[in-house]
Structure 1
Amino acid sequence: MKPIIYTEGDATRPQASGPLIIAHVCNDIGAWGAGFVLAISRCWKSPEKHYRQWARGQIESAPPFALGEVQFVPVDETITVANMVAQHDIRSDCGLPPIRYDALDKALEKLGTHALHLGTSVHMPRIGCGLAGGTWSKVEPMLLSHLSQRDVQVTVYDFSPV
């Protein structure tokens, strides 16, 4: 088991060498325009482009655009962005936050399998806990189960401009 590394910094500028995945949570309505995705779009255009195409059903080889699915978008020779669909809509519904923990659990399982297959580390902000409205005490055990306990190195970034 590899413990989760917590650090201050910018998850779009991972503090690692070698192949890596930057993971984040997306919504299930195809909207991209607030939160961490803005930082991703400032660095690379392809994750947003591919996400929007996926949401519109324009990528035939992709899994269905649905809660719990993940889209892996290579952005350079060593970095891949994981668009994990684990947020329903963009607003609270009947007092429930947009995060869907069951979908996040499925997405993290797929992320762990992909990271193991490629031999990558995984880097992320505190996924699901910003605009999605989740709590870290529910997210962290999923990271431990699907990534850390499978010997995937995870680094979680609390934003601090570098």
Structure 2
Amino acid sequence: MSEISYVRGDATVPSAKGTTVIAHVCNDIGGWGKGSVRALSARWPEPEATYRAWHRDRAHNDFALGAVQLVQVGPHLWVANMIGQHGLRTGSGGVPVRYEAIDTALGRLAGHVHGLGASVHMPRIGCGLAGGIRSRVEPLLTERLVKRHIAVTVYDRGEDGR
């Protein structure tokens, strides 16, 4: 079984050959514009446009916590919009991150990734504006992806690469 690789850099510029999926966490209210999604939108318009359309038509599709939407942005490059955050701000209901939803989304993502023969690249999902903590997210990555022999690279802009 492989481990999670941690690198310093930008998840929208994956350091891998072959088919690649860039995974990130979205909220469940249709908001897009802060955090890691800004880097995605700067590179490709499709992930945001597809997410917004998915949210608009949510009465007729699977848009909900734990859902995954794959958007192709290149011949061998996909973006996975994973709904793992309830709302946008920390308040009386706690932080926006929903670990159970991220777990479900990662499980669903694993099936898609196997079908594509892809590796997964991501920022530190759920740990930025969503308010999550690394020690709760990393076991989910291990259980849902790494144990299924899916290569995972987590990108960080921090000094220690973590």
Same fold flag (TM > 0.5): yes
Give the secondary-structure state (helix, strand or coil) at the position aligned to 2:101. Answer: helix
1:67 aligned residue: 65
1:137 aligned residue: 135
Distance 1:138 1:117 in 2: 27
2:85 counterpart (81, 84, 87):
87
The runs of at least 4 aligned residues of structure 1 exceeding 3 Å deviation read none
Distance 1:155 1:107 in 2: 17
Distance 1:58 1:65 in 2: 5
Shift of 1:118: 1.0
2:54 aligned residue: 54
2:13 aligned residue: 13
Letter in 2 for 1:24: H
Is 2:19 the counterpart of 1:25? no
Task: Single out whichever of 128-137 and 88-97 deviates more from structure 2.
Answer: 88-97
- Count of matched residue pairs: 158
Give the secondary-structure state (helix, strand or coil) at the position aligned to 1:94. Answer: coil
Query: RMSD of the TM alignment (CA)?
Result: 1.4
Letter in 2 for 1:93: G
Shift of 1:64: 1.4
Distance 2:131 2:22 in 1: 20
TM-score by length of 2: 0.94
Shift of 1:58: 7.3
List runs of 5+ in structure 2 lacking aligned partners.
none
Distance 1:59 1:16 in 2: 37
For residues 98-152 of structure 1, the C-alpha deviation after alignment (integer angstroms, 9 at most, x for no partner) is 0001101100001111111111000001100000000010000000000001000
1:44 aligned residue: 44
Letter in 1 for 2:103: D
List runs of 5+ in structure 1 lacking aligned partners.
none
Letter in 1 for 2:70: F
Task: Single out whichever of 122-131 and 95-104 deviates more from structure 2.
Answer: 95-104
1:106 aligned residue: 104
2:120 aligned residue: 122
